Amino acid sequence: MKEKEVAEKFKKWLEKQSWESKLEFHTEYELLYALEINEYNGKEDRYFQKRSFETDILISVPVHAKKAWFPAVVIEVKYKSLITHDPIIYGVKAEHHRAIHPYLRYGMLVVGVDSLPGRLIRHGKKFDFLIAIKNPIPERNKQSVIHKILRNEIKTAITMRDALKDNRSRHRKKFWYLHKSIEFNQK
């Protein structure tokens, strides 16, 4: 089995889950990470190129009033083998995507292993979540935990987007704290 097949199977499992809001699930989606301005023509006109990276799994949230959507969670998938460069490279990819989408949550799913490799924990600091499962369809005892993790990440993306969206408006949503925590689950 190839990583793209693994991502597709996991995506289909996600689609069968119950979610609090309407979501869309994509595999191999080209998500924008940069706008390169090549030249200016006066004050307003700019000539630019869009740059994008392919994501393994993208969870997006529809914005019904505008018939639009925004990216909430990206899941990069590795199947059976993970080398030290993987979390480093994917971490850089996450940084680039967040330059355009600052609310985006980013994670890595390693399939075909029993537990998270130490090198992933060590070099995966730019990820919001790391998950290890044996098969593309999670084991029963892990399904509710994975669902909870992703539900929380989606909620965080929505809240962060709301916090940043109209951040200069007097009528914006206001928050008095932000807390990031790390949670481990042992076998």
- Residue 103 counted as domain residue: yes
Taken in order 2, 5, 10, 13, the sign of the CA dihedral is negative
131: domain CATH number is 3.40.1350
In terms of DSSP bridges, do strands 68-79 and 129-133 run parallel, antiparallel, or are they unpaired? Answer: unpaired
pLDDT value at residue 77: 96
pLDDT value at residue 154: 96
Cα gap 99→23, rounded to integer Å:
23
Average pLDDT for consecutive 10-residue bins of the chain (187 residues)? 94 93 93 85 76 94 86 96 92 94 96 92 94 94 94 94 82 80 78
pTM for this predicted structure: 0.90
pLDDT value at residue 177: 82
Taken in order 87, 89, 90, 91, the sign of the CA dihedral is positive
- Residue 172 counted as domain residue: no
pLDDT value at residue 49: 84
- Residue 100 counted as domain residue: yes
> The domain containing residue 30 runs over which residues?
3-37+49-164
- Residue 107 counted as domain residue: yes
- Residue 171 counted as domain residue: no
- Residue 54 counted as domain residue: yes
Q: Report the DSSP beta bridge partners of residue 45.
A: 41
- Domain count along the chain: 1
Q: Report the DSSP beta bridge partners of residue 106.
A: 74
- Residue 122 counted as domain residue: yes
- Residue 187 counted as domain residue: no
Q: Are 37 and 47 in contact (CB under 8 A)?
A: yes
